[in-house]
Amino acid sequence: MAPAQRTSAMRISTVNVDGQRLRVAIQPGRGHGQPLLLLNGIGANLELFQPFVDALDGIETIRIDLPGAGGSPAPARLLRFPGLAQLVARALARLGYETVDVLGISWGGALAQQFAYQHPDRCRRLILVSTGTGAIMVPGRLSALLALASPRRYRDPVYMASIAGPLYGGRLRSEPEVARRFAREVRAGDAGGYYRQLLAGFGWTSIHWLHRLRQPTLILAGRDDPIVPAINGRIMAYLIPSSTLHIFDDGHLGLVTSAAELAPIVRTFLTDREGGTPCH
């Protein structure tokens, strides 16, 4: 099936969960394993996952614009990661999903950890991409972290294209057209929602309970990631009992810019009967 056909099959709707409207996209699969819930980075809209979703080819996916991002309005009150994990669980129930596999990238990877810990019966397998353990982790470059403090890159495509290389690293450093294409796919959300997402993770860390996770876990870390250095992937792989670590030659957004390479790795992990081989 051609990528254009797969994209056209995507169903976009809005669900209301306890007064919070959430924009949701469901991409039908072909019965290969559990549906895969995708949790995006801070302020990022669900369309940015599309190259990866197309490359998965056959896995049903659920994408949610989290409050304040894309087409979902900011929450009426600040939701920390436990509250967001509960909101996601209720959204899945509203959509009719009992158990899912979960993939989170960057800020969404932290939320994925929280969801797997808080709702172990709802999460079968876990995939953590370009993410770390929160407040207690090896920090990225100061210039990259300062850029993340503002939603300007989502509101100004020219600015996004100009900083994408040093901010995200990997292919975006050497392939400016890829950076410009990525910038065109960005859909700015609510500015206040962006800052609420920042505050959702303020002071949060998973480092003291990662050893309790029992889901088979795949960890993907970019070798050239200015935001979350790859050493954080090694730390999580050491702490999570049943984990597999794969370091790839790209940057923070490798899941998108290297989708053709990483999607088969994810697909194999999700469909393998044993859920991957532990790395220790």
- Which residue, 232, 226, 225, is CA-closest to 205? 232
Catalytic, 72? Answer no
- Do the domain assignments include residue 70? yes
- Do the domain assignments include residue 110? yes
Domain that holds residue 98: 3-271
- Do the domain assignments include residue 276? no
Window from 64-78, 168-182, 211-225, 265-279 with minimum mean pLDDT: 265-279
- Do the domain assignments include residue 278? no
Count up the domains in the chain and report the number: 1
**Residue 190's pLDDT is what?**
78
Q: For position 87, which CATH number holds?
A: 3.40.50.1820
Residue % of the chain over a pLDDT of 70: 94
pTM summary value? 0.93
CB-hemisphere CA count at 13 Å for 49? 28
- Do the domain assignments include residue 277? no
**Among all chains, which residue has been given the structure tokens 């910038």?**
183
Q: pLDDT for 55-104, tens place per residue?
A: 998 899 999 999 999 999 999 899 999 999 999 999 999 999 999 999 99
Q: pLDDT for 179-189, tens place per residue?
A: 888 888 888 78
- Do the domain assignments include residue 210? yes
Q: Decide if 55 contacts 260 (C-beta within 8 A).
A: yes
- Do the domain assignments include residue 84? yes
- Do the domain assignments include residue 280? no
Question: Using 50, 70 and 90 to split pLDDT, how confident is the model at 218?
Answer: very high
Give the active site residue among 8, 72, 106, 174: 106
